[in-house]
Amino acid sequence: MTMQNSRLFLSPPDMSGREQTYIAEAFESNYIAPLGPMVERFEQSIMNLTHTPNALALSSATAALHLALRVLGIGAEDIVLASSFTFIGSIAPILYQNATPYFIDSDTKSWNLDPTLLEEAIRKAPKKPKALIVTHLYGQCADLKRICEICTAHDIYLIEDAAESLGATFERQQSGTFGIFGVYSFNGNKILTTSGGGMLVSPHKELIDKARFYSTQARDDAPYYEHTEFGYNYRLSNILAAIGVAQMEVLSERIAKKQMIFEWYREELKNINEISFMPSLPNAQGNRWLTTLTFDHTDPEKIRLALEEENIESRPLWKPMHLQPLFQEAFRIENGTSQSLFEKGLCLPSGTKMSRADVARVCNLLKKSLA
């Protein structure tokens, strides 16, 4: 390992410089609590970005998905369709509600949920599925046009897991705003971070009001603590929301930088025939949260280890849910796409502080390790 080279992380936090100012404001107002003016400002900034009338700041995107399912009344009798090529935080809320997940594989055009398989899953499911959780992986959109048409035709609630795709658009509309609920994540490695946090959005005020109620222990309207239902402690702290307010001010810069990093990688690696980058649908504009690619012949683990040797973090693509030991028995419709992506793929460091020279350093090492 070359000592002078500092570690290149996959996607480390990148503060705007205004965070401390807003945190200080939060301290001055003494709202050191899970609610307060910064929470409202953070929610407002998401509503402004997404043109959605209702937003609820929460402790994580996982919590946001859980509330979405709870508010929609999804329970033990229900089947929830879901992208298989995703992170467990997208799926665990289905289990929290004791519902049954039904995993759908990806297409090669988007690497995201395959709409044709979605139709097949609806036909083959033992009963009518109640909802679909579709993930926009690595900040790139799934085929929302077809997915929306199918969900509408079959009367299935569409929930978008836009945890990784804040600011990405499909036909100029923000990801996360196509369904009954959308979810964004602000955990430590996302395009923006509050160290940990999430946001739930919906066009329906009464649904967000209900989610807010469940997120604060389902307290009834009484001077004492009265409960007719149980809830959760899922709200975001006013201090973390202050970080979110500052981060939202630089979202467009961060997206532009992520896209530039992707272009740099493309340029550096354009002569390597065995490499394919994650595609983008023609009518979508992803945020390129992570630059991801596949190798035709080389084992990506060999590349990962070679980069690690030089203090560079890279990561395999998500292991599909239908291949997880936890879901051995689960319903699935598979076509081999996400398995092949998992076996051949790698996420490259994509931090927004990276320079062109950093990208060149990664690419030179990568080229040296090819088969």
- 163, 284, 290, 317: which one binds ligand PLP (CB under 6 A): 163
Nearer to ligand PLP, 39 or 269 (CB): 39
Measure the CA–CA gap between 239 and 196, rounded to whole angstroms.
11
Q: Is 238 exposed, middle or buried (0-12, 13-18, 19+ CB in 10 A)?
A: buried
End-to-end alpha carbon distance in the chain: 21
User: Applying CB under 6 A, what is the total number of residues that bind ligand PLP?
Assistant: 14
- Between CA 50 and CA 61, with CA 338 as vertex, the angle to 5 degrees is 35
Token digits of residue 313: 């973090």
193 binds ligand PLP (CB under 6 A): no
Residues between 85 and 104 with contacts to ligand PLP, criterion CB under 6 A: 86-87, 89-90
Nearer to ligand PLP, 93 or 129 (CB): 93
Measure the CA–CA gap between 143 and 85, rounded to whole angstroms.
14
Nearer to ligand PLP, 58 or 366 (CB): 58
Beta strands in 121-194 (DSSP E): 131-135, 157-161, 169-170, 173-174, 181-185
- Between CA 351 and CA 104, with CA 258 as vertex, the angle to 5 degrees is 95
Q: Stretches 81-89, 118-126, 258-266, 357-365: which one binds ligand PLP (CB under 6 A)?
A: 81-89
C-beta of residue 155 within 8 angstroms of C-beta of residue 122: no
Residues between 29 and 68 with contacts to ligand PLP, criterion CB under 6 A: 60-62
Residues between 211 and 270 with contacts to ligand PLP, criterion CB under 6 A: none
Q: Stretches 18-26, 83-91, 96-104, 235-243: which one binds ligand PLP (CB under 6 A)?
A: 83-91
Q: Stretches 116-124, 157-165, 276-284, 361-369: which one binds ligand PLP (CB under 6 A)?
A: 157-165
Q: Stretches 82-90, 249-257, 308-316, 329-337: which one binds ligand PLP (CB under 6 A)?
A: 82-90
Residues of this chain that interact with ligand PLP (CB under 6 A) are: 60-62, 86-87, 89-90, 135, 161, 163-164, 185, 187, 198
